[in-house]
Amino acid sequence: MSTAAAVVVYGATGHTGRFVVAELRERGFATIVSGRDAARLEALAAEWGDVVVRPASVDDPGALDRALAGAAAVVNCAGPFAVTGGPVVEAALRAGIPYVDVAAEIEANASMFAEHAEAARTAGVPVVPAMAFFGGLGDLLVTAVMGEWTAADEVHVAYGLSSWHPTAGTRAAGDVSHERRAGRRVRFADGALRYHDDKPVEQDWVFPDPLGRRAVIAEFTMADVVTVPSHLAVPEVRTYMAVEAARDLAGADTPEPEAVDAQGRSHQTFVVDVLVRAGGVERRATARGQDIYAVTAPLAVEAVQRILAGRTRTTGVASAGAVFDAADFLRALAPHVSVELPH
């Protein structure tokens, strides 16, 4: 198989990585699978039959260079991204190819903007972090809602997850983030990330029908607090999580996701409700779908497809809303995501 236009998936054997590989193959992309576990990669190749295997560890720059050699782009699905993000994006920049990741870690995403923006801009290479359910989808919704607005007073993103059975990768990334914050919580207020020790607070959020009024954890802060203000003039970005999902995530005995359909999706459903306020005017958008891990795949692969087709607005490190036509991108996610935007 020719690898001239192939896409590398780093962390291909993980839960989300497998969804991304399947989406790439479904869209006709030649795929190179990479990661540190050669045996698991070979098993994946035997299962699918038409992928190239290139093992690489993030502490081996030479192996990463060989994994990306001749490829068109790389999607990093291997968390914790605090560990993998830097080495893989640096390899992508050495190779001169676009980098996309699916990081939900707030600090890892902030580091991507802070530490790699100049090199990516100089190389003229698109680098899109958090191109996933958390960070990317919310940013696209907020950007589309704002439309012609150049600034807003506040952004609210409420996650109505029916449940949350975390993967091993999600738990590992959460542990790393907890350690980096020394157990503190984080919010985006007055134009900056701010760490605090305030206790979590429950409140009600009125989601669109049929979900309706639900209890949520206020300031359950997700990657949107990095992606949205990276390109939009918004001093307050707040995110909320359905209480049921937050309890699942916190439960040490909550099992990993279990497939319930031929696509490998779990039974989990979601509603993402975005509210933007500016000068006393409110605008709202909603996205609905099934399985936050599975839906990350069309988000990441649509991004790669648009980058390789030249359907981008900028290069360097930039979030989804800055790189792509947000409303058009959201429409392209059907049937994976149902989106309602203001008319």
Question: Residue range 309-315: average pLDDT?
Answer: 96
Q: Kindly state the tokens that stand for 179.
A: 């350690």
pLDDT in tens, 275-307: 999 999 999 999 999 999 999 999 999 999 999
pLDDT tens per residue, range 249-267: 999 999 999 999 999 999 9
Q: Which of 111-125 are b and which e, b meaning 16 or more Cβ less than 10 Å from the residue's Cβ?
A: bbbeebeebbeebeb
Q: Is the Cα dihedral 221, 222, 223, 227 positive or negative?
A: negative
pLDDT over 90, % of the chain? 94
Say which CATH topology domain 133-292+335-340 has: Dihydrodipicolinate Reductase; domain 2 (3.30.360)
Q: CA–CA separation, 230 vs 12, rounded Å?
A: 28
Determine the pLDDT at residue 93: 98
> Taking the CA of residue 112 as centre, how many other CA atoms within 13 Å lie in the half-sphere pointing to its CB?
35
pLDDT confidence of residue 1: 39
Residue 2 has pLDDT above 50, yes or no: no
Per-residue pLDDT tens over the stretch 69-116:
999 999 999 999 999 999 999 999 999 999 999 999 999 999 999 999
Tokens for 297? 């795949």
pLDDT at 4 over 90: no
CATH class of 7-131+296-327: alpha beta
pLDDT score of 209: 82
Nearest-10 crossing angle of helices 15-26, 38-48: 40
Can you tell me the distance from the alpha carbon of 161 to that of 292, in angstroms, rounded to the nearest whole number? 9
Enumerate the H helices of the chain as residue ranges: 15-26, 38-48, 61-68, 81-95, 106-123, 138-146, 168-180, 224-227, 243-250, 292-308, 320-323, 326-332
Question: Which pLDDT does position 211 carry in this prediction?
Answer: 87
Q: Where in the chain is the domain with CATH 3.40.50.720?
A: 7-131+296-327
pLDDT higher than 50, residue 44: yes
Residues 201-253: tens digit of each pLDDT: 999 999 998 889 999 999 999 999 999 999 999 999 999 999 999 999 999 99
Other C-beta atoms within 10 Å of 57: how many?
16
| pLDDT surpasses 80 at 126 | yes
**How far is 124 from 106, CA to CA, in rounded Å?**
25
Between residues 271 and 211, which one has the greater pLDDT?
Answer: 271
The CATH 3.30.360.10 domain(s) of the chain lie at: 133-292+335-340
pLDDT value of residue 289: 97
- pTM score: 0.96
Looking at residue 5, its pLDDT comes to 82
| Mean pLDDT score across all residues of the chain | 96
pLDDT of 140 reads 98
pLDDT category, 178, cuts 50, 70, 90?
confident
